[in-house]
Copies of this chain bind each other. A is one copy, B any other.
Amino acid sequence: MQRGTFQLMKSVNKSIILNKIRTCEPISRAQIAKETELTPPTVSSIVKELLEQGMVYEQKKATSMGGRRPTMLYINKTAYYLVGVDAGPETMNAIVTDLGGTILGRISYVLNTPITEASFLDVMKQSINEVVRLANVKMEEIMGIGVAMHGVVEVATGKSLYAPNLKLTDIPIKEALEQEFCVTVKVENDARAMALGEAWFGGHGDLGSMVTVNLGRGVGAGIVTDGKLFHGAKDIAGEIGHMTIDINGEICECGNHGCLQTFATGPAIVRRAQRKLAERGAEHSFKLTAESVFELAKAGNTLYVDVLEETGFAIGIGLTNVIHIVNPEKIVLGGGVMKSEEFLLPIIKKTVNNNALTEGAKNTEVKVTKLGKDATVLGAVALLLVEIFDSVLG
């Protein structure tokens, strides 16, 4: 239980100040005091500590407003560095960033499946070593490692409970990396990590709550409230891919009927296009992909436009369900499927607007991510940034 101690008092204020600097940089002590309602001496003493720690640096402002020139404060982004790892089903991506999330180095490995637990962890360790070397950073300057792992993750222990594509269970990622590198290690599900990446780096300001949905080979979502991830009791909050929206619908790989995944993934789009073609007795002479469905729709072929509109409608239904349960301020969509944004987004928005119950729900902002492929691996880094900047514990 978090008691009311002097440490709590101080760490709350430290957190407030650090975040104020981070979000309003450059900012003076006096401004911080005014805007946070902390007293000037409190701000001064905490800033002094932050300067000593090297987390923050000073710089005089050129002009003033008719008084002593304020000393502007900045986050010392290169005080420490962070490693983010995105361990997908087929590839392992790693980056090194500074505290501002600027990527200083990146590396990518292809995983050969099937793989043993030991060699999976070896690849991970090697990719971390390698990317740190490439970024020209000393291992001692690394403050922590964040891992976005596909499949089911137990956050508290940092274990991958079940990684379907690798056919591995109970991989002790956190334990292995902490032993190897002696730094903080955070492990999170990849969809949730992506959501955190979006919340921190997507340019959304200080949202109360936001849901990020990844529409790729599967569908996953992450719920971020007050800059922090919502996990749920067993770390599966946001698993919307297998949300039933069509109780009598197509059988999903999970065995249930009409999961959102039977509508809104790349393979699902291909399947639906093929089915439509078959219905019309048409043949397709080339191998159909989600990309080609998009291309054909752009070329004006109504069959493919219809497929994408059906997909958009289903996504809209799924999002409306999410809105009615979680009621976020904003929903951000990402993943390969959203490359067809041109066709999908209008109908998604229209569906949400038609189907949502209240004005507040209808007006939920729905956007497409601008972060691209880095969202997940940046999310892995953000797992650490949350600890550093938003911690009320340390």
Find out whether the CB atom of B360 lies under 8 angstroms from the CB atom of A321: no
Find out whether the CB atom of A240 lies under 8 angstroms from the CB atom of B358: no
Find out whether the CB atom of A327 lies under 8 angstroms from the CB atom of B1: no
- A39 to chain B minimum Cβ distance, whole angstroms, is 10
Find out whether the CB atom of A234 lies under 8 angstroms from the CB atom of B358: yes
Chain A residues 153-170 with CB under 8 Å of chain B are 161-162
How many copies of this protein are present in the complex? 2
Find out whether the CB atom of A360 lies under 8 angstroms from the CB atom of B248: no
Find out whether the CB atom of B360 lies under 8 angstroms from the CB atom of A234: yes
A118 at the interface (CB under 8 A from B): no
Chain B positions within 8 Å of A236 at CB level: 323-324, 327, 357-358, 360-361
Chain A residues 57-77 with CB under 8 Å of chain B are none
Chain B positions within 8 Å of A363 at CB level: 234
Q: Which of A7-15, A285-293, A375-383 lies at the binding interface?
A: A7-15
A243 at the interface (CB under 8 A from B): yes
Chain B positions within 8 Å of A1 at CB level: 16, 36-37
Chain B positions within 8 Å of A161 at CB level: 358
Query: Known: A239-B325, A357-B236. Is A3-B36 also a contact (CB below 8 A)?
Result: yes
Find out whether the CB atom of A246 lies under 8 angstroms from the CB atom of B247: yes
Query: Known: A12-B3, A36-B3, A162-B358. Is A233-B246 also a contact (CB below 8 A)?
Result: no
Binary contact track A218-237/B, C-beta < 8 Å → 1, others 0: 00010100000001111111
In the assembly, what is the distance between CA of A209 and CA of B11, in Å?
Answer: 27
Chain B positions within 8 Å of A9 at CB level: 4-6, 8-9
A242 at the interface (CB under 8 A from B): yes
Find out whether the CB atom of B12 lies under 8 angstroms from the CB atom of A317: no
Find out whether the CB atom of B327 lies under 8 angstroms from the CB atom of A360: no
Find out whether the CB atom of B317 lies under 8 angstroms from the CB atom of A247: yes
A329 at the interface (CB under 8 A from B): yes
Query: Known: A234-B358, A355-B256. Is A242-B324 also a contact (CB below 8 A)?
Result: yes
Q: Chain A, interface size: which category?
A: 35 or more
A282 at the interface (CB under 8 A from B): no
A244 at the interface (CB under 8 A from B): yes
A208 at the interface (CB under 8 A from B): yes
Chain B positions within 8 Å of A248 at CB level: 246, 248
Of A209, A233, A242, A328, most B-chain CB atoms within 10 Å: A233
Find out whether the CB atom of B322 lies under 8 angstroms from the CB atom of A325: yes
Nearest CB in chain B to that of A314: its residue = B247
A238 at the interface (CB under 8 A from B): yes
Instruction: Name the contact of A360 in the complex, choosing from B36, B233, B323 (C-beta under 8 A).
Output: B233
Of A37, A232, A256, most B-chain CB atoms within 10 Å: A232
In the assembly, what is the distance between CA of A258 and CA of B244, in Å?
Answer: 11
A386 at the interface (CB under 8 A from B): no
Query: Known: A3-B16, A235-B360. Is A325-B327 also a contact (CB below 8 A)?
Result: no
Find out whether the CB atom of B37 lies under 8 angstroms from the CB atom of A237: no
Chain A residues 294-328 with CB under 8 Å of chain B are 314, 317, 320-328
Instruction: Name the contact of A321 in the complex, choosing from B243, B320, B323 (C-beta under 8 A).
Output: B243
Nearest CB in chain B to that of A321: its residue = B243
3 nearest A-B residue pairs (beta carbon) = A232-B327, A234-B360, A4-B12
- Show 15 A/B contacts (Cβ-Cβ < 8 Å), sorted by A: A4-B9, A4-B12, A4-B13, A208-B233, A232-B327, A233-B364, A235-B327, A237-B325, A239-B325, A242-B324, A242-B357, A245-B245, A246-B248, A321-B321, A322-B325
